[in-house]
Amino acid sequence: MGAADSVPGVSGGTIAFITGIYERLITAITRLDPTAVFLLAGVHRREGRRRFYDRLLEMDVPFLLALGLGVVSAIVTVSRVMHAALQEAEALTFAFFFGLIAASAVVLYEHMAVDTPGRIAAAVAGFAIAFLVSGVTSGSDVAHTVPIIFVAGSIAIVAMILPGVSGAFFLVLFGQYEYLTGVLTSFVDGVLAVVVGDRAIGSLADAATTVFTFGLGAILGLFTIAHLIRWALDNYRVATLSFLVSLMVGALRLPVERVLDTDPTLAAGSVLPIVLAVAIGGGVVLLLDYFTDDLAY
């Protein structure tokens, strides 16, 4: 799930379906109760420790911790690779993203039906919002302020809840993906340097603030936006999917413009690698869909 969440166009929620843990994940998230922390006051007694332990099992916290550690470790690893790819081969990387996102929209298209005024409005709104936002993010330097990072984290968490929709895709849409993968890479390198004594811990302040802000936003999103989207799917499933798929289609403007910015002339020698990168990205999603065709999204 962490590897999938790190790549725009691939969903961690889809991986949860493939491995058969999706329903357990949703159930565990909805069972989390912050008031359980008050049980810590009694852990100095055997009965209190048993009560606290039973409450953790009831909320399936050991499962969430194991899953969370796996997700975080994969995100740290894969985001480093993606950041390096963006630095060394930006055009090819964004062409790869184009293939991922476009194929994801095609796969999800069969789950939507734009046949009512409400669904048409949702589809048009999704496309228009993404097309306009992606134009802004591709044509200028996007601010990386604390509020924007916080909001980005709260929205990106939907990848853990929605099969087919990628959290990294939203980061690309908001112009935060390349920045955040770079900050995460610098933060991890900095922590390792502090551990071996090569750097002072104070040098991590800026990167740590960004990582903490993003994580705080993700936690808040898990208990707000994720629940809101799940409600929308339960009550207006087709309209919600129409909005999300159209959002993905509209956002294709961003990788196209980033490729053109990097190679405006698209010389003959560069077209073939770009087409190949698009094909590889699309092929990854189509293969994933082929082998999971029997899953009820």
Show the 3-state SS of 141-188: CCCCCHHHHHHHHHHHHHHHCCCCCCHHHHHHHCCCHHHHHHHHHHHH
Question: In 3D, which of 165, 141, 149, 172 has the Cα closest to residue 79?
Answer: 172
Residue 292 has pLDDT above 80, yes or no: no
CA distance 276 to 75: 25
Residue 170: alpha-carbon gap to chain centroid: 7
The pLDDT score that the predictor gives to residue 124 is: 92
Q: Which of 67-81, 157-171, 214-228 bottoms out in mean pLDDT, i.e. has the lowest?
A: 157-171
**Cβ–Cβ under 8 Å, residues 246 and 101:** no
| Among the listed residues 16, 37, 36, the one whose alpha carbon sits nearest the alpha carbon of residue 26 | 16
Give me the chain's average pLDDT, please. Answer: 83
Domain total of the chain:
1
In degrees, to the nearest 5, what angle opens at C-alpha 122 toward C-alphas 121 and 127?
100
User: Does pTM surpass 0.75?
Assistant: no
- Residue 242 placed within a domain: yes
Q: What is the pLDDT of residue 278?
A: 94
Mean pLDDT score, 215-221: 89
Please state, in angstroms and rounded to a whole number, the distance separating the CA atoms of residues 264 and 177.
22
Q: What is the reported pLDDT for 246?
A: 86
Asked whether residue 36 is assigned to any structural domain, the reply reads yes
Average pLDDT over residues 184-197: 88
The pLDDT-based confidence of 283 (bands split at 50, 70, 90) is very high
What burial class does residue 55 get, using C-beta atoms within 10 Å of its C-beta: 0-12 exposed, 13-18 middle, 19+ buried? middle
What's the mean pLDDT in 209-238?
A: 84
Is residue 140 predicted with pLDDT exceeding 60?
Answer: no
100 in any annotated domain? yes
2-49 per-position pLDDT tens digit = 888 888 867 787 778 767 787 788 888 888 888 888 888 888 899 999
What is the predicted pLDDT for the residue at 63?
94
29 domain residue, yes or no:
yes
Residue 9 DSSP symbol: T
User: 296 or 169, which is more confident?
Assistant: 169
Residue 109, domain extent:
2-291
Tell me which of 183 and 254 has the higher pLDDT: 183
Backbone angles phi, psi at 106, to 5 degrees: -65, -45
Is 121 part of any domain?
A: yes
297 is a domain residue? no
Residue 244 lies in a domain: yes
**The pLDDT of residue 53:** 92
Length of the chain: 297
Nearest-10 Cα torsion for 162, 164, 169, 173: -80
CA angle 244, 218, 258 (to 5 degrees): 55
Residue 296 lies in a domain: no
**DSSP track, 250-275:** HTTHHHHHHHHHH-TT--HHHHHHHH
Q: What is the DSSP letter of 111?
A: T
**Mean per-residue pLDDT, 91-96:** 89
Residue that is written with structure tokens 């961003």 in the block: 254
| Of 231, 185, 229, nearest in space to 210 by CA | 185
Cα-Cα-Cα-Cα torsion 119, 121, 127, 129, nearest 10 degrees, comes to -130
CA distances from 155 to 59, 187, 202 (A): 24, 22, 30
